[in-house]
Structure 1
């Protein structure tokens, strides 16, 4: 089991005050064959000095820095220098349970069809309690994200799909990544244990997104993956006798589909 290196990816942008907690949760993993890439994404706080202490004390911690490029590119930069077989993204203000990696790797070893392994999660900080995420199905994923960022996946799969999309610059990058990763098939496993702790604080990225930014992100996902949306909801297309003319326009077809499924238009008429 310990022959498969796991690379934990920790982007940090002005979150030095939380970084120790995140890295401590990595250090305490019962699965010891890991490396942890800390990516300083243009921070102006003391992220560099704090990270240096971790790198000095344990050579499994690796530090890189870059000009601010956003979360997607920070993760990609970290993954590019990894040597691991599996990848686990971890935001600098969150943390994981000590047995999360060990249990996740075992699931991959037991089931070769798996592409993603995640777990139950809890909030901490300004909000506490269980994070009641809806159960994953690929069809439900197309409607909204069902998997948080801190899930295990294979590095080879990241490479095949081109990594995280830097066009998702306002948020929801995880949602697009999972759609891209899973739309060609593969199974997802949710561990029946709390292995991830998501910090809730004022001004989180998702809360700070404006309606225009949310609309941009939704539109981008729907246009990029319009093929899989049309394929998945093909029965809706076939059931509508008046849709043949609209099928000549990809935008009009998608608008009709998304209005039926989500209840709103996503493209301007």
Structure 2
């Protein structure tokens, strides 16, 4: 068990068929100004040369370890990697994204200054098929009940991952990070966004980040309404609706006519 004053960071990188990109991602972590860190990679059943690229880097850098699993999705891969982590703090990073050299440094400084902080993230930019600043809504629990504004690559304590049950493995490929933040933060915890551009979010033509069809969106809404009913009813006065930002207004109207209890 980590000591209370241990500020080791475990950078968690799930990857799938990212042989052409994974080295750039890992190099961005190796360029970090912060120590101590470890890098834990979980290959999620890649069928390309991802493992050969990773194994070559493992031989060069003792702080990197790698595990393999059958293709099971990013939540299973993240949970697998975090279960192996020895760090007090976790930073998930997808196998095609990048971080700035000072991101971890600034985040840990925030945790040291205020132990009540639960999550630290930063400003972000998109690159690749789309470029420019990623305009994120300000964090609040009220906003979190309608949408996600914390990207997956935020820092938090491993103990909080354990307390909320990890990433939902039964919600494969559908905004699992949003559900994770709800589970971790719905009962309180300070969230800080650093005023630095520390995260670079790759958009590629074959990325799963191209959007969500109606069926997946409805599945996600049903999942949140079922698993986090207390949270959505507290902030939306009823269940989350398909038009999420209209949920509170619609629920209040239904209550007014006695159609929702």
Q: Do 1:8 and 1:34's aligned partners in 2 also have CA atoms closer than 8 Å?
A: yes
1:151 counterpart residue number: 154
Unaligned runs of 5+ in 2: 252-261
1:248 counterpart residue number: none
* CA-CA distance at 1:231 after TM superposition: 2.4
* CA-CA distance at 1:15 after TM superposition: 1.2
Distance 1:255 1:18, change over 3 A: closer
What does residue range 204-219 of structure 1 map to in structure 2 within 5 Å? 204-207=207-210, 209-219=212-222
What does residue range 1-269 of structure 1 map to in structure 2 within 5 Å? 3-207=6-210, 209-233=212-236, 236=237, 253-254=238-239, 260-261=247-248
Q: Do 2:42 and 2:66's aligned partners in 1 also have CA atoms closer than 8 Å?
A: yes
Q: How many equivalent pairs are there? A: 245
* CA-CA distance at 1:47 after TM superposition: 1.0
SS in structure 1 opposite 2:25? helix
Normalising by structure 1, we get a TM-score of: 0.87
* CA-CA distance at 1:210 after TM superposition: 2.5
Q: Do 1:35 and 1:61's aligned partners in 2 also have CA atoms closer than 8 Å?
A: yes
Measure the CA separation in 1 of the matches of 2:250 and 2:207: 27
Q: In angstroms, what is the RMSD of aligned CA positions?
A: 1.9
Runs of 4+ in structure 1 deviating by more than 6 angstroms, as ranges, are: 255-258
Q: Do 1:116 and 1:152's aligned partners in 2 also have CA atoms closer than 8 Å?
A: yes
Q: Do 1:143 and 1:262's aligned partners in 2 also have CA atoms closer than 8 Å?
A: no
Unaligned runs of 5+ in 1: 237-252, 265-269
Q: Do 2:146 and 2:240's aligned partners in 1 also have CA atoms closer than 8 Å?
A: no
Distance 1:130 1:255, change over 3 A: closer
* CA-CA distance at 1:254 after TM superposition: 2.4
* CA-CA distance at 1:8 after TM superposition: 0.3
Deviations 1:60-101 (A, max 9, x none): 000100001101000000000010000000000000000000
Measure the CA separation in 2 of the matches of 1:263 and 1:140: 16
Q: Do 1:170 and 1:213's aligned partners in 2 also have CA atoms closer than 8 Å?
A: no
Measure the CA separation in 1 of the matches of 2:38 and 2:217: 34
Q: Do 1:3 and 1:33's aligned partners in 2 also have CA atoms closer than 8 Å?
A: no
Measure the CA separation in 1 of the matches of 2:88 and 2:68: 23
